[in-house]
Amino acid sequence: MERTFIAIKPDGVKRGFIGKILQRFEDKSYKIVALKMLNVTQEQAKKHYAEHEGKAFYPSLIEYITSGPVVAMVLEGENVVAGARHIMGKTNPDEADVGTIRGDFAQAKEYNIVHGSDSVESAKREIAIYFSEDEMCENYKTMLEIVMGQ
């Protein structure tokens, strides 16, 4: 089963959207396999956003993601990487559809309130930056798994 890494960014936490954002993913019946609140360190931020190093927005991106606590999670489900990004909406909230998290709750690309891995490979890499193996809680069944007999 596919896994992805999601983070509610500091603006999402400060604006009080933890519950609403979690609800969107729970509504889709993705399984929450790990969940925690943490202050992202400089080291974690630089690893996470290594692909953007050198770009004009990189310094402010590192400042933004380390500006307050984030809520980090690992979600599991069928095609969850693409599905979660669909629920999040486009990077630029101006272009994100209404009904998506960014479309509904964000205005600017710089403050787009949520992160989601863009591929299965990125997900593996990002999960390892924020979680250890013993923080994974997969040994329970969601209602969907029970209904599907999984």
Of ligand IDP, Mg ion, none, which one does residue 112 interact with (CB within 5 to 8 Å by kind)? ligand IDP
Whether 25 and 75 have beta carbons less than 8 Å apart is answered as yes
The reply to whether 115 sits near ligand IDP by the rule CB under 6 A is: yes
Which amino acid, residue 101? Answer: I
- Our answer to whether residue 86 is catalytic in this structure is no
Q: What angle do CA 41, 44, 46 make, to 5 degrees?
A: 105
Which CB atom, from 100 or from 112, has the smaller least distance to ligand IDP?
112
The reply to whether 4 sits near ligand IDP by the rule CB under 6 A is: no
Site string for ligand IDP, 78-97 (x = CB under 6 A): -------------x------
Among the residue ranges 29-37, 69-77, 106-114, 136-144, the one whose residues contact ligand IDP (CB under 6 A): 106-114
Closest approach of Cβ 145 to Mg ion, in Å?
29
Closest approach of Cβ 139 to ligand IDP, in Å?
30
d(CA 33, CA 23): 15
Cβ neighbours of residue 79 closer than 8 Å, sequence gap 6 or more: 2
The reply to whether 125 sits near ligand IDP by the rule CB under 6 A is: no
* 39-75 per-residue burial string, b: 16 or more CB within 10 A, e: under 16: ebeeebbbebbeeeeeeeeeeebbebbbbebbbbbbb
d(CA 84, CA 76): 10
Closest approach of Cβ 56 to ligand IDP, in Å?
7
> Interface residues with ligand IDP (CB under 6 A)?
57, 61, 91, 109-110, 112, 115, 118
